[in-house]
Amino acid sequence: MSRPVRQRILITGASSGLGMGMARRFAARGRDLALVARRAALLEELSDELVAARPGIRVVTAAIDVDDAHAVAEGVPALAAQLGGIDRFVANAGIGNGSSVGTGAAAANRAILATNVLGTHAQCEAAVELFRAQGSGHLVLISSVASVRGMTGTRTAYGASKAALNALAEGIRSDLLGTGIRVTTVLPGYIETDINVGRRGPFTVDLDTGVDALVAAIEREPVRAYVPEWPWRPVSALLRVLPLPVLRRLT
């Protein structure tokens, strides 16, 4: 099925990794961008690079901490006003690096849950309000393969946060069925970025390979995408049915 070109794309977490990679790919396709993260200088550098490489596109930036729900609620419409609307919103900002529950890392685990769940929820509220007013839009939530089962150690809070996003996305999708608003949940496997330095697992792909697969998946606008599809769709299906002692050894 042919999809409309999503010309004006807002990406959170655009100061590094997958967000920066998506910004580069979409800019190369001539899309206008709104880039969000906390590190404003990195966003400015990226904006200059993108406009120099592809004159004619519009790139606007905003330093917003997604943990600050008020800043998100005010910042997103302000960015939309600068571009005359937002056609796709990629809720990508996220953090990892927790520790096993009950080992003295409550604050780190809580921060993961706060940013990944409440920060993404704030983004969804702002994005869907915009889309409802426009009558159209594509909301993309960046989840993780770590969401398909409970994960051990550093990924316990992280996996739980991403499982919450899967349910959040599905609920929003259900609310919006039959409207012009689409919702995609993306579950990446391991892609080399700052979030997983020293903690990469099997089937890790480099950033370029991962971002190519990610952008291709987002442009298809499916309900759910695994990135890259191979091997992560079959691996996810397997993870869902493995007995816990086996799962524990593999994850």
Ligand X SMILES: NC(=O)c1ccc[n+]([C@@H]2O[C@H](COP(=O)([O-])OP(=O)(O)OC[C@H]3O[C@@H](n4cnc5c(N)ncnc54)[C@H](OP(=O)(O)O)[C@@H]3O)[C@@H](O)[C@H]2O)c1
The residues that touch ligand X, with contacts defined as CB under 6 A, are: 12-19, 37-39, 65-67, 92-96, 115, 119, 142, 144, 188, 190-191, 193-196
For the CB of residue 115, give the shortest distance to ligand X in the complex, in Å.
Answer: 5
Structure tokens at 95: 């953090």
For the CB of residue 31, give the shortest distance to ligand X in the complex, in Å.
Answer: 18
Phi-psi region of 203 (alpha: psi -120 to 50; beta: other; left: phi over 0): left
The answer to whether residue 226 is catalytic is no
For residue 234, the number of C-alpha atoms closer than 13 Å in the C-beta half-sphere is 3
Question: Out of 131, 158, 226, 232, which one is annotated catalytic?
Answer: 158
Of 40 and 132, which CB lies nearer to ligand X in the complex structure? 40
For the CB of residue 149, give the shortest distance to ligand X in the complex, in Å.
Answer: 14
Of 196 and 236, which CB lies nearer to ligand X in the complex structure? 196
Spatial distance between the Cα atoms of 107 and 113, rounded to a whole number of angstroms: 10
Spatial distance between the Cα atoms of 58 and 47, rounded to a whole number of angstroms: 9
Q: 86 with 60: CB under 8 angstroms? A: no
Of 49 and 134, which CB lies nearer to ligand X in the complex structure? 49
CA distances from 1 to 5, 104, 219, 220 (A): 13, 50, 12, 9
Of 133 and 167, which CB lies nearer to ligand X in the complex structure? 167
- Catalytic residue annotation: 158
